[in-house]
């Protein structure tokens, strides 16, 4: 599919500053470290809110229950992320609060009209969020890396959603086509959201411009961020039998 790697709406444009080639390994500043930790913590809250809402609208009780537990687990580790911000000398609630509203545009533009659209939204949205945060996390080691890695487990591609989506798409070709189309819309919005976030948050761009701690992770350097995210999305869609 020629459009597989070209989400059309909106076209993401990487800010010039994130194109900076990584130079000598200089760790991010403490303020930029707190910016990433704040984003992770806010992502945990956003994941909680999304999953709790999905749970309420689940079509069967087992799914409702599993989504509720995913929501609960997503927020359960937030205390450790906020504690890390406090340890670094910042007001954790202020840092967290600075992200209020910053996800709204993505959420509003991707309001699902069916249960399946909602499930795919979570699968795609959390997937891109996980991959993006992981790329940023690769610039850290020590305690911050540990708490971010633990938090990222909550964003890991959801096996429950994947299984249900794959089965539904396989059983109903029309639904599968519609979901493939919706997936392209979702990833376009998600990449646009990442782009907006980087435009608004120079601290995150500076983090991205740092070299990864592990030289093996150079392949996801800042300049290649969007192609990395797009390729990971395509593989994730492939796993549920949909064309990205």
State the residues that interact with a second copy by CB under 8 A.
45, 48-49, 52-53, 55-56, 61-62, 65, 68-69, 71-76, 78-79, 93, 96-97, 100
**DSSP label at residue 211:** P
Minimum CB separation of residue 67 from a second copy in Å reads 11
Which CB sits closer to a second copy, 87 or 93? Answer: 93
Residue 202: which residues within 8 A CB-CB, separation 6 or more? 17
- Give Cα separations from 225 to 32, 70, 145 (angstroms): 18, 28, 19
C-beta of 92 vs 179, nearer to a second copy: 92
Distance CA 149, CA 141 (A): 10
| Whether 168 contacts 109, CB under 8 Å | no
Write down the least CB distance from residue 57 to a second copy, Å.
11
Could you tell me the smallest distance in angstroms from the CB atom of residue 96 to a second copy?
A: 7
Q: At 88, list the tokens.
A: 């670094």
* Rounded least distance, CB 165 to a second copy, Å: 22
Q: How far apart are CA 86 and CA 89, in angstroms?
A: 5
Based on CB atoms, which residue is closest to a second copy, 71 or 242? Answer: 71
Q: Which is nearer to a second copy, 48 or 132 (CB)?
A: 48
């Amino acid at each position: 599919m020629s459009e597989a790697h070209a989400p059309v709406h909106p076209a993401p444009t990487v800010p010039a500053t994130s194109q900076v080639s990584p130079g000598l390994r200089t760790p991010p500043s403490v303020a930029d470290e707190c910016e990433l930790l704040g984003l992770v913590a806010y992502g945990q809250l956003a994941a909680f809110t999304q999953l709790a809402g999905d749970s309420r609208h689940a079509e069967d009780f087992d799914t409702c229950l599993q989504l509720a537990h995913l929501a609960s687990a997503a927020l359960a580790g937030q205390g450790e992320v906020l504690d890390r911000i406090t340890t670094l000398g910042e007001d954790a609630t202020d840092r967290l609060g600075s992200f209020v509203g910053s996800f709204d545009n993505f959420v509003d533009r991707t309001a699902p009209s069916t249960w399946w659209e909602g499930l795919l939204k979570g699968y795609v949205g959390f997937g891109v969020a996980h991959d993006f945060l992981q790329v940023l996390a690769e610039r850290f080691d020590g305690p911050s890396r540990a708490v971010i890695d633990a938090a990222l487990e909550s964003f890991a591609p959801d096996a429950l959603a994947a299984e249900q989506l794959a089965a539904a798409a396989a059983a109903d070709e029309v639904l599968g086509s519609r979901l493939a189309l919706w997936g392209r819309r979702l990833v376009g919005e998600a990449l646009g959201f990442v782009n907006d976030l980087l435009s608004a948050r120079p601290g995150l761009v500076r983090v991205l411009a740092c070299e990864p701690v592990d030289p093996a992770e150079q392949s996801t350097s800042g300049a290649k961020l969007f192609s990395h995210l797009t390729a990971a999305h395509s593989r994730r869609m492939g796993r549920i039998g949909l064309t990205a």
